[in-house]
Every structure is written in C-alpha cells, then in structure tokens.
Structure 1
C-alpha cells in the first residue's frame, strides 16, 4: 500500500480526511464513491487538470507522480486510487466494502489490480474519443509542462496526444481490444452474480464503476455484454454514483461529449467502434 512521506511537511499536520481530486478523473471518482458509500466527511482540494495544476511544484510536493487523487488521513498520505479505497475500507470498516467471506479476498485484490492495469487504456481512449475538443496546448505550454512535470510517462503521453490529430491505429486497436477483454471477463463473472463478488456490493464494483461510465460517454456498445449492462443499471441506482461521479461533471458536459462523438463519426468515421475487437463484430 503506497503510504508515502510527503515532500510538503505541512501535509503531516492536516487533521481529518483530505482528497486532492479532479472533477473527471476516474481515479478520483473511485475515491469519492468510496467515501460517499461510507458517509465520511472529507475536505476536497480540487486540481484543475486542463489548467495543468497537477504540474505545479506545490501539488507534486504532495503527490510526486503529479497525478490525482492524493488522500490524507490525519497526516498519513496515500496515493494510487485502488490503494486509497482499500485503505479507507480497512481504516473505516463500516459499512464494509469487502466480501464477507475472507476466502474471496484474493479475488477482490485481483479485480482491483486489473482495474489499475486498465487505467492506461482508459486514459488513451478518453483522450482520443472524448477530450480532443479541449483547447490545444501551444508549443510553449507543452515545453513548460515538460519542464515542470516530474512524471516522464505522462509528459510523453501529453506530447503524443497534442502532437497528432489521432493516436496511432495500432495503439487504439490494442486498447479497445484489451478493454473489450476486460468487459467480457466482467460479463462472465456477473452471469451468476448480482455484484462482482456475489450478493454484496464491494470495492471491486467501485473500482470498475468509473470505467464503464466513461465508456458509456464515448458510445461504447455496452449492449454486447448482457450481464455487465444489467450490473451498470444497478450501479446507476446507487446514490454514490450520482453524488460522487455524475454531480461532479461540469454542467452541459455530457451534451458536449455527445455532440463531439456524433459529429466526428459523421464527418470522419472515427469512433470507438471502428477499432480493435469492436470493429470485428
């Protein structure tokens, strides 16, 4: 579990629960959902990702990777979303978000690990099929981002995204196919279960909620996964889905996403269903 020493010593003086988060960050959504499921009070520190606030020295002194979220519990700093939600459930156990059967703990950890691995593909597909209308960065802004941000992998990603009208087809094909494989695995597991680990809603479900929601926004054909689609219907009925995920979306965002996705498909044929496993059906 990545409990780390903050470079900013004032973090250790913080009392209560604090979350540095972004409105649309899928990783931050997991943490907000977990906190809301447990009805825990927390103080938010909103990081404006499009304005590159995650690249400031001040924020990187909290999370050296320059990513959201970061979580503090009475001075204890935790990063990485799946580790944060695991920490929250272990330290604030009521109501429990772990399987009642301890023999299912390895399966829980497996779903959390897989959701963590899926994050790279989620990022790539989101930036390609939803985030392209964001104001382009100038060469100076890209250069400054590279100078200021310590996370080389993120810098390389932003450079590639900003430097091309579309990511390479091979990357998009692979990301779509891997995501489809994940969804097929989820669908198969849910064929005989109400939730991912049985009758109880757990961290495993929370870990995957933002992924399915994000793909819905880019018109991923969720109807091809009967059981996963049923599960997502249940997810949307939970109050935390609204309070911790939907309510944080800027006003009008869904309509803007929908208009962009529709227009791009109509004018160029570029759409998530034109790649990888989705294009083969």
Structure 2
C-alpha cells in the first residue's frame, strides 16, 4: 500500500471553495486505487488579510474556517505572535523584490516559519513511514487529477521532488510539491536557510526553493498539477499557466541552480554550470 502524508500549509482563505478540488483531484482518485492518506495541517491563524498586491483589503477571516480543511492532525500557529523579526531584518539588508514595503516578504516568512515548526512538531510525534509527502496550499483551487503511484515511478532517487512547471519566475514554483521523505525535509525547512540565502540574494520564494533543492542535491521532476489562487473574498484568480513556464523532465534528474543568474539546469555537473 502506498502511504502519503498530505500536508496543507499557509493560510486557508476560502476553504469551502478549495476543499472539493483537493478531494476530487488528489484524494479520491488515489484512495480509489488503494493509496492511504494521513492529512496534516500547518496553518497560519489570522483574523484579517490586508494585501494590496493580491487585492485583499481589510478582509475579516473567520478562524473556524481553518478547520474546514479536514485533517488528522492540526498544527495551528497564531501569526500575531510575530516570530519572524530576525529573518525579516536579514531580508531587509537587501532589496524588496516586490516593492510593497515588505508585505509580501512578511507573508512568505510567516508561511515558511509555520511550515518549519509544523514539520518539526509532526516529526516529533509521528511513527509512520510515508512513501512521499504531498505539500498543497489550501488557498489553491486545484484543477488537475493526479495519480500518485504513477508519479512515484518517476521518483526513484531518495531525494526526488516533483514541482509544477508553471509560474517558476526564475526559480521553482513553491505552491505545491510531491517529495520523497528526504527531499520533503528540505522543502519544509526552508526557513532555516534564510540567512545563508540572503547573504548574496534578495529573498524571493521561487528562487529560494530552487537554491535549496540544488544545494541539497535533490532530483527534480514535473508535477502535472495546476491550481488557481483563491482570494479571501471568494474570488478565483484566472491564471496564465504559460507565464514563466519551464520545461521540467517527467522523471526526476539532478538539478542545479545558479542564483546570481536565476538559471536552472538538469543533469550538468555543477562546476560546468557555474563556469
């Protein structure tokens, strides 16, 4: 039997709209063929969203909605406790890539902080061994059906991770991923590498992910799963899935990333890539 840890991470903006897509396209087709899921939520608890970049202005959030994404385990963190000050100051020593007074960077740091601490908490109590970890954001309306046993056939290396090809923005899409256990640890613990990454780079989510999986010697392949962002008002954003799309091989291959040039390659020796 294939055993999968399905991890929800981030903010659950409009779960009544997104949960059916998760069940219909990820959970049910795989349970029908014998896949066993353990569902885990690492969620940022907030009372209000104000994000000019996403068009969300002082939108009140009902915290009870966070429980509408069914999970076997919940790790809920109050974002008001603000545990990201040190990492934010590190990021501010460089440029704000979004030019929105660091609002987007704060959101990213809060998401990564909760993901890291949720991962550590679950690892401390978990005795199960999973074939892979499936990371999904609960504020995404997923529109493609995926069969996990077929995808696992493309992930023979212990450090394999599948990433969507769209919206890579010079790095790797960080909205969802299917990862073997060793690669999952690196994906979930990105927060620990902020200081090292920001020594030479502006903090950017896609670049950070690409840099970390390259640094850790991961093997990257394509996750054929698309999703539309859902805003807290219930608005579903229409996505251009060709935007910043890149060719990612179906079967995982050794991945290299040059963060200074924001270039990616598969299968090259690192010294050849950086020269």
TM-score, length-scaled by structure 2:
0.28
TM-score, length-scaled by structure 1:
0.27
Q: Which has the higher helix share?
A: 1
Higher-Rg structure is: 1
